[in-house]
């Protein structure tokens, strides 16, 4: 019988990772190799880790996000998978994160600079600066009250213009609004 693969538990401390939701059939024949105090189950393979959990986001000293299946599943408990090379270092001091907006879905998220999809155009920021900008972008995407001070033909075009400036420059939101 093959010996189960077990990574060093310390290798997950202070990491950022984006898991991708999987169908629960992916772990049917895998043994649970670790169960956390909060009830999350972990399944390790040579390719990566499966995590079955009802909570995602900030976990102790790490940031692990789940990209849901489309269409989204009803269950609160979700299975995510991440390859070992998708765990990136995290800390509060370095400019490690960039922002991505999905205008059609009206969503915004952050990604790590080590992500192979990073185009090196979006400004890198610390986690605190990134969180602040994301909050501003979410307000722009979901509210309309801020737009009453502008003369515009298409609200979606105005939103995109402001959000692109927030992602690709170091200008403050007030500076951007004044320039428009």
pLDDT band at 9 (very low <50, low <70, confident <90, very high): low
Rg value, the chain, Cα: 19
Using CA atoms, how far residue 84 sits from 42, 91, 106, in Å, is: 13, 19, 30
Q: What is the pLDDT of residue 3?
A: 66
Would you call 78 exposed, middle or buried from its count of C-beta atoms within 10 A (0-12, 13-18, 19+)? Answer: buried
Instruction: Write the pLDDT tens digit of every residue in 61-73.
Output: 899 999 998 888 8
Q: What is the pLDDT of residue 23?
A: 92
Q: What is the pLDDT of residue 2?
A: 58
Q: Which of 70, 65, 63 minimizes the C-alpha distance to 23?
A: 70
Average pLDDT over residues 87-116: 96
Using CA atoms, how far residue 96 sits from 64, 111, 115, 128, 164, in Å, is: 15, 8, 10, 11, 19
For the entire predicted model, the pTM comes to 0.88
pLDDT band at 178 (very low <50, low <70, confident <90, very high): very high
pLDDT band at 1 (very low <50, low <70, confident <90, very high): very low
**Structure-block tokens of residue 18:** 């984006």
Instruction: Write the pLDDT tens digit of every residue in 128-152.
Output: 999 999 999 999 999 999 999 899 9
Task: Give me the residues paired with residue 43 across strands.
Answer: 50
- Centre a 10 Å sphere on the Cβ of residue 178 and count the other Cβ atoms it contains: 9
């Amino acid at each position: 019988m093959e010996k189960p693969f077990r990574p060093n538990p310390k290798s997950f401390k202070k990491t950022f990772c984006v898991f991708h939701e999987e169908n629960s059939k992916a772990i049917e024949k895998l043994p649970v190799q670790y169960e956390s105090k909060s009830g999350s189950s972990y399944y390790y393979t040579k390719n990566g880790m499966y995590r079955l959990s009802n909570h995602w986001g900030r976990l102790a000293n790490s940031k692990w996000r789940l990209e849901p299946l489309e269409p989204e599943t009803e269950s609160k408990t979700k299975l995510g998978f991440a390859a070992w090379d998708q765990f990136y270092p995290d800390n509060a001091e370095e400019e490690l994160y960039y922002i991505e907006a999905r205008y059609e879905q009206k969503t915004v998220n952050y990604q790590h600079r080590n992500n192979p999809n990073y185009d090196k155009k979006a400004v890198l920021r610390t986690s605190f600066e990134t969180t602040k900008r994301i909050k501003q972008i979410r307000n722009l995407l979901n509210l309309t009250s801020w737009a009453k001070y502008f003369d515009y033909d298409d609200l979606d075009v105005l939103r995109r213009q402001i959000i692109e400036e927030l992602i690709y420059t170091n200008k403050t939101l007030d500076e951007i609004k004044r320039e428009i």
